[in-house]
A and B are shown apart, each in its own frame.
Chain A
Amino acid sequence: MDIRTKALTKSLWVFHMSVGSCNNCDIEILDCFTPRHDLERFGIQLIGSIRHADILLITGAMNKKSAPIMKKIYAQAPKPIYVVAFGICACSQHMFRDSYNVTEPLDKILPVDLYIPGCPPKPEAVISGIMQLVNKIRTLDKKPKTL
C-alpha cells in the first residue's frame, strides 16, 4: 500500500452537509465524537470548510432547493473526495420518495461511495461503515489505475 493511501485512511476529515434532513442524523453524527464512541481515535475530524475535506457526508432527502448547492459543494472539494450517504433518507429517500419537491435520489447525482442506512444510524453502524470505507479505499488503491 502506498504511503498516500495509508495517510488518507488514517486521517479522514469529514465535511458534514445537510440537504434537508430532520436533524436527527446531524445529532447522531455528533454522538460519534462523544467519549463512548470517540471517532477521533481513528483520526477522523469534523471540518468546517469543504476545501479541507476528504469525506462529504450527506444527510437528508435532497430537494429542489438544495440539489444545486450540493453539486456546487461537491465541485469545490479537493480530489480525492468520498461521498457518504448518511441515514435512510440520503440512501433511498425513504418516505419522501413521492413527495412533490424531492429530486432524483442522491446516487443518481453524485458517485456515492458508502451507504449508512438507519433512521438515524447508530454510532456503531457509523463506525462499521467508516471501516468499510477505509477497506474500500485500500483495495481500490491496489488495483492498477487505468480508467
Chain B
Amino acid sequence: MKSVFYLLIFPGFLFSVSIGLLAGWLDRKLTARLQWRVGPPWYQNFMDVLKLFGKETIVPQGPKWLFLFSPYLALVSAILVATSLGRSIISPLDSFTGDLIVFIYLLAMPAIATIIGASSSRNPLASVGASREMKLILAYELPLIISIIVVILKCRGALQIGQIIQYQMSFGSIIFTFSGALAFLVALFCIQAKLGIGLFDIAEADQEIMGGTLIEYSGLPLALFKLTKAIMLYILPLFIIVLFLGRDLSPLSLIIKYLIILLVIILIKNTNPRLRIDQALKFFWRVPTILAGIALLLSLFGL
C-alpha cells in the first residue's frame, strides 16, 4: 500500500509530472521573455497534455502492439527513477546497493523506447529521427558514465545513492574538488543531450524533420511521451544535484539548486542553435569525453 502511494503520488508519478510540467512552462515562459514575447500562462503544459488525452489515437500500419507499448515503457521507467530517487533523498539508506547502476539503465530506457516506437511507425522521417537518437545515445552515454564513475571513486566505491549522499554530507559536495567540477560540467552537457533540448534537439527537430521520432504519434501515446519528457526534465537535474551537490538536500536548497541548473540549461538552449548529428557526435567524443577522462585521472590521484 505504501509503495503504491510512493509510486503514484508523492515522489512518483503525480508529483514528478507536476514539477516537470511546471519546469517545462518555465522553459517556455523564459524563452518567450528572452524573445520579448509574453509567453503562455502557467497551466499551459497541463492543458496540452489534457487535450492530448481527449484526441483520437491513430495507429499506422505495422507492428501495432510495439507502437502502443513503447510510450508506456518510457513512462514507467521514468516513474521508477523518480520514485526511487525521491525515496533515497528522503531516507538515504532505504534503498539497495547498486541502485546507481539501475538508474543509469533506467535513464537510458526512454530514449530506447522512442527508438522502438519510431521504428515501428514505419515513417521515413521517424526512422531518420530514430537513427539520430541512436547516434546521440552512443555519443553521450560514454562521458556520462565516466563522470558518474568519478563520483563513485570520490565516494570510495559507493554504488548506492544513499551512501553517496551520506559521504557528501560528512565530507562536502563533490563539485568542490577539481575532478568533481570537471565531471559536473560533463554531466551538465550530457543531461541536455538526454533531455533532447536546445543544442541537442536533433532527434525531434520540429522545424527540420517535423517532430522526428514522434511524428506518427497522436492522442494518448503522444501525451505519454510528453509526460515522460516532463518527468525527465525533473529527474535528470535532480540526479546530478544528488551526485555532485549533495551536501545539503533540505527542500529549500534543493529547489534553489534545481532552479539554477534549469536556468543554465534554458539559457544555453536560447543562445545556441541546434547542432547537426555529426557535430554532436564529434563534440561529445572529443570535448566531454576527454574532460571526463582527465577528471577520472585526477580522481585517481585524489584531487
Contact = CB atoms under 8 A, between A and B. Distances in A.
B172 to A, nearest CB: 43
Given A4-B51, A76-B58, A48 B215 contact: yes
B150 to A, nearest CB: 39
Interface stretch (A37-45, A66-74, A96-104, A123-131): A37-45
Contact of A51 (B36, B40, B58): B58
A47 B51 contact: no
Interface stretch (B72-80, B98-106, B175-183, B204-212): B204-212
Contacts of B51: 4, 7-8, 10-11, 54
Q: How large is the interface on B (under 10, 10 to 19, 20 to 34, 35 or more residues)?
A: 20 to 34
A78 B47 contact: no
Contacts of A34: 37
Interface in B33-82: 35-41, 43-44, 47-48, 50-51, 53-58
A11 B58 contact: no
Nearest to B36: A35
A43 B218 CA distance: 18
B211 to A, nearest CB: 5
B215 A11 contact: no
Interface string A1-43: 0011011101100000000000000000000001100101111
A6 B58 CA distance: 22
Contacts, number: 84
Contact of B58 (A4, A8, A78): A78
B91 to A, nearest CB: 37
Given A40-B32, A51-B216, A51-B218, A3 B211 contact: no
Contact of A7 (B28, B39, B50, B209): B50
B219 interface: yes
Nearest to B208: A48
A136 interface: no
27 contacts: A3-B50, A4-B54, A6-B47, A7-B51, A8-B54, A10-B44, A11-B48, A11-B51, A35-B35, A35-B37, A41-B38, A41-B39, A43-B40, A43-B44, A47-B206, A48-B211, A48-B215, A49-B214, A51-B58, A51-B218, A51-B222, A52-B217, A52-B218, A54-B55, A76-B58, A79-B56, A80-B56
Interface of A: 3-4, 6-8, 10-11, 34-35, 38, 40-43, 47-49, 51-52, 54, 76, 78-80
